[in-house]
Amino acid sequence: MSGRPRWQLVSLALALAGAGVAGYLTLVAYDESLLVCGLGDCATVQNSPYAKLGGIPIALLGLLMYLVLLGLGVVRWRLVHQTELLTSANTSIALAGTLFSGYLTYLELFVIHAICQWCVASAVIVTLLLLVEGWGLRQLLRAETSALVSAPAPPRQRRQQPAP
């Protein structure tokens, strides 16, 4: 693995899994006959007015989010010097996705009164992504802080007294 942290690989795997789930739900949004639901009432959720935002399937927005997370993860893998910035971006995107998934789960439970197993899977995946990315960002910031603390202080320069 050439010395790269495992959390980055875990993040890539989660983003890929999320893209798979959201990609499937995007297909279902355009062809409901593809829907397979073993638990819950996925059809009720998929046909609710909350399944689209401005005419765009929520699943498509989720797919785009996961693809961006996956893309940034790949770029981070290649551009090691940008790891902190890209991890900050991924953490922010995963936080937004987790908050939106929480809102959608609230709608499923208390407004639609139906649960979609695929939506729950996506909510779990994006929450795990947030935890992994947040942990990775914490590790990066901790290492940076340790480097700053352990670096020798630059020599003090004597202030020159103004000439009388």
pTM for this predicted structure: 0.87
Long-range contacts of 138-141 (CB under 8 A, 24+ apart): 139/5, 139/7, 140/83, 140/84, 140/87, 141/84
Query: Distances in Å between the alpha carbon of 75 and those of 13, 23, 25, 78?
Result: 14, 21, 26, 5
Determine, yes or no, domain membership for 68: yes
Determine, yes or no, domain membership for 82: yes
The domain tally of the chain equals 1
Determine, yes or no, domain membership for 24: yes
DSSP string, 50-74: GGEETTEEHHHHHHHHHHHHHHHHH
CATH (domain of 60): 1.20.1440.130
Q: What is the pLDDT of residues 95-146, one digit of tens each?
A: 999 999 999 999 999 999 999 999 999 999 999 999 999 999 999 999 877 7
Determine, yes or no, domain membership for 155: no
Q: What is the pLDDT of residues 10-42, one digit of tens each?
A: 999 999 999 999 999 999 999 999 999 999 999
pLDDT band at 152 (very low <50, low <70, confident <90, very high): low
Determine, yes or no, domain membership for 149: no
Determine, yes or no, domain membership for 135: yes
Q: What is the pLDDT of residues 53-75, one digit of tens each?
A: 999 999 999 999 999 999 999 99
Determine, yes or no, domain membership for 148: no
Q: Cβ(101)–Cβ(123) under 8 Å? A: yes
Range of the domain at 20: 6-142
Residue found under tokens 């875990």: 10
Determine, yes or no, domain membership for 163: no
What is the rounded radius of gyration, in angstroms, for the C-alpha atoms of the chain? Answer: 22
